[in-house]
Copies of this chain bind each other. A is one copy, B any other.
Amino acid sequence: MPELMSTDRAELDALLASTVVGHVGFVDDTGRARVLPTAVVRWGERIVIHGSTGSGWLRRLAEGAPACVTVTAVDGVVVARSAFESSLLYRSAVLFGQFTVLQGTEKLAALDALTDRLLPGRVAEVRRPTAKELAATLLLAMPLTEWSLRTSDGFAEDPDDDVAGPAWAGQVRLGPAPLSIVPAPGLRPGIPVPASVAAVAGLR
């Protein structure tokens, strides 16, 4: 099954545009690797993550701990004529680097990018963050400098004996997940579903 390595930046951008969660790895105080999921959004030539200033692992990253951020989209299953040749269809990027803390206007702009990535256009629909909210939020950015991308696509390369046999082969491909919109129990009457919510797509 063709598994391709790529250094095509457009493919990396496409992957980051179709996933919202990445897995961030770092070495903790005890010398062990830890892997935590968080929203990962491309912001120009960087990726950004965010969270509470009270988060120990974000503070560790903020101090410059080397990080590995892996972003993966599962696109389906390659069904071969044997179990051995069967595999997953996926795209995955592994990014290495160090995060730095964003401040001031950069922090605001990156936060807006995060919000609008999840809910396109949401920033224009809601009030601005307060000073207190900003102070409670840590915004970290890592440059897109050291990364690799791996894509598995295509069909199984079954040996001739298996191709001549009775087993089926092909792909099962996953389409975009359907969305359901649930108003909050305390929502005041008469507030319509906003455009940003109707525009959500590509969440993984």
Q: Contact check: which of B21, B83, B175, B192 meets A72 at CB < 8 Å?
A: B21
Contacts of A137 in B (CB 8 A): 84
Separation of A46 and B23 alpha carbons in the complex (Å): 22
Kindly supply a per-residue 1/0 record for chain A positions 80-91, scoring 1 wherever the CB is within 8 Å of any chain B CB and 0 otherwise. 011110101010
Known contacts A23-B72, A167-B194, A168-B183, then 18 further A-B pairs from the complex at CB < 8 Å, ordered by chain A residue: A20-B74, A23-B25, A25-B34, A27-B32, A33-B33, A33-B66, A35-B69, A36-B92, A37-B92, A79-B196, A83-B129, A84-B137, A86-B119, A163-B186, A170-B184, A172-B180, A172-B182, A175-B180
Q: List 23 A-B contacts (CB under 8 A).
A: A20-B74, A21-B72, A21-B90, A23-B72, A27-B27, A27-B33, A34-B68, A37-B92, A76-B179, A82-B127, A82-B133, A83-B115, A83-B129, A125-B167, A156-B184, A163-B188, A166-B191, A170-B181, A170-B197, A171-B184, A172-B203, A173-B182, A178-B178
